[in-house]
A = this chain, B = another copy of it.
Amino acid sequence: MTTLPAAFLDAASALLGPERWRTDEPTRQAHGQDDSRRFALPDAVAFPRDAEEVAALVRACAAHRVALVARGAGTATTGAAVPFNGGVVLSFARMNRIVEIRAADRCAIVQPGVLNGDLQEALAPHGLFWPPDPSSAAMCSVGGNLATNAGGPRAVKYGASRDNVLGLVAVTGSGEIIRCGGPYTKDATGYDLTHLIVGSEGTLALIVEATLKLTPRPRAQAGLRAFYRDVASAAAAVSRVMAQPVVPAMLEFMDAHAIALLRHNGSDVPEAGAMLLIEADGDEDTLPYALQSLADAAEGDGMLSLDVAADGVARDRLWAARKALSPALRTIKPGKINEDVVVPVSRIPDLVSAMEALSVQADLPIVCFGHAGNGNLHVNIMYNDADAAETARAKAAMPKIFETVLALGGTLSGEHGIGVAKRDFMAQAFDAATLAAMRAVKAALDPAGILNPGKVLPPLAG
């Protein structure tokens, strides 16, 4: 049974009608979870069709102090879309139109519910793509990508979601429709609300339309796979690769545990202390040179071997190791805490050796891999979630990851966001004055505090 005020229920129902304002149990059950496997039941689920309906619903929520949690495709890994305070889940499933593809202006205007994969498909005939490529691309929404500042391996060359949005139409917590930025790539006009709202996880304003920056599709790709004696020599190679002018299209790292795991599962990978997967893109003429520059930079003290693969089957085989990793992880332990932390590129060796020490201390395998070019590593603590002691040790190790990362001058999240999963570590990542400034901005845009309450910012002490 919903506990929402009757006057609010009447208003919402009158606004959206019975088909798009749902309080039935199955619909509520289907909209309470995200990919963090957290769950909370909303009191109602709304399916607005346009910005005006979103604004009217937000105004009703603000008037009645009802919590409102925006939801894209529910693939967040942090609980960001889970309605812990009940209230309304606002699904963008019915706002999933590509409004316009403006090839000559290299931008697309989309509603937030468009799936990343569907957008890419629509852009392909224009020879364009939208760079953010989270591993969930086929099923995650552009609105969700923007809300969490999602990235992916291509971010090393093309940036994450925030770097690939030119303008937004958004609904603030007061139910006002605001418009910032537009179909242009240079802007020094007023405050940059666009980039502020991106990554704010639905706590400042709800994105109801986005103008996305598009990039011409490269005509050709090729890959390199380099093996190193140890993490330090691989990290030195990462710094060399990033210091020369050919920016790799991807630059992925795997530690010795990841390599051992792949070997154990039959992958075609030699024994090594660390591995880099490096991708070049460009056109047929320049790709060999780009690849050579990247290979030259990859080479250095501690490199054991280097494979080159042109586009097609050979390249797929090379990247197969990366794709095999996540399934392979499940063969060690059923439970996994995956933290997408960030450190300065030069501190990758320190992070990995600290994780090795933590692994010994916690008596649990820790596997590190990820987007080395951005210093954005995925640290995976592996544990048996049916074993209470292992689970407790894994949970106790988690804060130590964050402590290490912050001590190395890094930060909590590179592309997953904060949600509730990392919320209580925000007070370690930011000092009190900075958190207070964030809270002031939140209060400015959401004075009633109804937008995704309890996410991103830690509760005030006392």
Contact = CB atoms under 8 A, between A and B. Distances in A.
Interface in A206-252: 216-219, 239, 242-246
Contact of A438 (B156, B193, B195): B193
How many copies of this kind of chain does the complex include?
Answer: 2
A243 B127 contact: yes
Chain A interface size, under 10 / 10 to 19 / 20 to 34 / 35 or more: 35 or more
A12 interface: no
A178 B176 CA distance: 29
A102 interface: yes
Contacts of A345: 104-106, 184
Nearest to A289: B285
B344 A187 contact: no
A182 interface: yes
Question: By CB atoms of chain B within 10 A, which of A190, A376, A409 has the most?
Answer: A190
Contacts of A329: none
Contacts of A281: 245
A342 B186 contact: yes
A52 interface: no
Contact of A444 (B246, B373, B440): B440
A189 interface: yes
A434 interface: yes
B437 A187 contact: no
Interface in A387-437: 409-418, 422, 426, 429-431, 433-434, 436-437
A41 interface: no
Interface string A366-387: 0000010111100000000000
Nearest to A371: B186
A422 B190 CA distance: 10
A118 interface: no
A185 to B, nearest CB: 5
Contact of A196 (B148, B187, B188, B192): B192
Nearest to A151: B186
Given A190-B418, A245-B217, A437-B445, A185 B374 contact: yes
A417 B128 CA distance: 30
A210 to B, nearest CB: 15
A443 interface: yes
Contacts of A438: 190-191, 193
A130 B454 CA distance: 39
A173 to B, nearest CB: 10
B176 A437 contact: yes
Interface string A148-176: 11110001100010110000000010001
Q: Which of A204, A413, A444 has the most CB of B within 10 A?
A: A444
B192 A198 contact: yes
B179 A160 contact: no
A413 B187 CA distance: 6
Interface string A312-347: 000000000000000000000000000010111110
Nearest to A236: B104
B431 A179 contact: yes
B204 A199 contact: no
24 contacts: A106-B243, A106-B345, A151-B186, A160-B188, A162-B195, A163-B163, A179-B434, A180-B430, A182-B344, A184-B344, A186-B414, A186-B415, A187-B199, A187-B342, A187-B413, A187-B414, A188-B413, A188-B414, A189-B422, A190-B456, A191-B438, A196-B441, A216-B242, A283-B289
Given A184-B375, A184-B411, A192-B198, 19 more contacts: A102-B346, A151-B188, A176-B437, A183-B409, A184-B374, A185-B374, A188-B413, A188-B418, A189-B342, A189-B417, A189-B418, A189-B426, A189-B429, A191-B438, A191-B441, A193-B434, A216-B243, A245-B281, A437-B444
Interface of A: 102-107, 127-128, 148-151, 155-156, 160, 162-163, 172, 176-180, 182-193, 195-196, 198-200, 204, 216-219, 239, 242-246, 281-283, 285-286, 289-290, 292-293, 340, 342-346, 371, 373-376, 409-418, 422, 426, 429-431, 433-434, 436-438, 440-445, 456-457
Shortest 4 CB-CB contacts between residues of A and residues of B = A440-B444, A104-B346, A444-B444, A176-B433
